[in-house]
Amino acid sequence: MRALSLAGLLGMAAGMLGLWRTGALLSPNPATIAVQAAAVVLFIWARATFGLRSFHAAANPTEGGLVTSGPYRRIRHPIYAAILLFAGAGAAARASAGSLFFLLVAAGAAVRIVAEETLLVGRYPEYRDYARRTKRLIPFLL
């Protein structure tokens, strides 16, 4: 699962790079800027809530217990939600062939989520109950 999660991360990074290189990541549109700013706020909030735990390129559930506060109260993967929101807003605002790189970001996130959730269930038995009461990416929907 760790190798699969690394592949997902690489896919997300390649998709973001592709969006940036084709000019489909950022937009001067005020609405897009607002959505992307909200995505950055969500990302920072989630990372701050997660605490001082280190980031691992390959998924590796850390010691310290399951985080279920802050944005994790409603979303199991708020950092991935923020990345998808940021990339999706840019791709939608600058619709072009380059926008298709968003699919690589989304596919990479999906792979990473599946790998992480598999590892989390093994590390934290209470994760199953947490997963039943929260959504993966969008509160109350998905």
Instruction: Classify residue 60 by its DSSP letter.
Output: -
131: Cα separation from own chain's centroid:
16
- Beta partners for 75? 135
Average pLDDT for residues 82-111, to the nearest whole number?
A: 94
Average pLDDT for residues 111-129, to the nearest whole number?
A: 92
pTM attached to this predicted model: 0.92
17 pLDDT higher than 80? yes
Average pLDDT for residues 28-53, to the nearest whole number?
A: 93
61 pLDDT higher than 80? no
> Which strand (E) or helix (H) includes residue 27?
none
51: Cα separation from own chain's centroid:
17
**Backbone torsion region of residue 23, taken as left when φ is above 0, otherwise alpha when ψ lies between -120 and 50, otherwise beta:** left
Query: Domain limits of the chain?
Result: 2-52+66-133
Higher pLDDT, 66 or 88: 88
Digit-coded pLDDT (tens) for 41-55: 999 999 999 877 767
109 near 82, Cβ under 8 Å? no
d(CA 35, CA 124): 33
What pLDDT, on a 0 to 100 scale, did the predictor assign at position 96?
Answer: 87
Backbone angles phi, psi at 3, to 5 degrees: -65, -40
- Beta partners for 122? none
